[in-house]
Structure 1
Amino acid sequence: MKPDNTTSKASIEPCLALRLRQANRVLTQIYDHDMSNQGIKVTQFAILRTIYYMGEATNRSLQEVLVLDQTTLSRNLKPLIRDGYLESQPGRDRREKVLKLTEDGKNLFKRASKDWRHTQQQLKDLLGDELVEKLLLVGDAIVDLKDSAR
């Protein structure tokens, strides 16, 4: 069966999820390219950054702050722990583990922060202040939906 060519592309309603995922992939590729000098991806940098500012974190607190599922978080934590950037210590109960940056992790975070700031500024310059502000507002509004969307 051939597709119906009578419908113009302009009349097709854009999918919000698809458009945001496309934009996210482009941003991720840009950040990942600049983070590659440090041997990490922006998703791993986000974990290092979160733990750096929190001082320590549990998997659950990271899931909440970063809005990640356990599988995705675990996949991103493994290389950081394996390579000695994070250490895992027992928490209040046996199921809980507390994550902290090692000295190597702190040093990696500081080095990667320079690349992150450079990329961040480049994107701000390319998008302009108005679009950056709108992007942050839209992002916040969508993240706020997480509890009502379930």
Structure 2
Amino acid sequence: MKTVLQLLKEKPESHQAVLTIGPDQSVLDALRLMAQINVGALPVVEQGQVVGVVSERDYARKMVLLGRSSAGTPVRSIMNAPVITVGPGETLERCMNIMTDSHLRHLPVVERGELIGLLSIGDLVKAAIAEQAQLIGQLEQYIRGEH
């Protein structure tokens, strides 16, 4: 199975840059940024370190349902923390296990303390499907004697 770094390199160039939000910025700022770049979550970075992840789900559950104002609430009050991260050498299988076991939809990728990417559960599912399709093709060739 591929590594996290291999998957990050295969992402379209437009999806390789990871935008972040600060913990003291407003939830409204986070929502605007997520809408602008069409993503469901943002890593929360403070002094160069990933300190959490904030998602649309956090907004729905911790803001809307409680009747809180997104303009006056800092991201730190609704972000998921402490954050679970992986390194670039981690396997996608291990990432799937982490995400499943921890009920995560987004997994920041950190190398030497620096955020280098963000994986979504969708990224991992697409990679697993592509890998299985390749394996099926190889097995079909083997069965037909086309080594």
Asked whether the two chains share a fold, i.e. TM above 0.5, the reply is no
TM-score, normalization by structure 2: 0.27
TM-score, normalization by structure 1: 0.27
Higher share of residues assigned strand: 2
Higher RCO, Cα 8 Å, sep 6+: 2
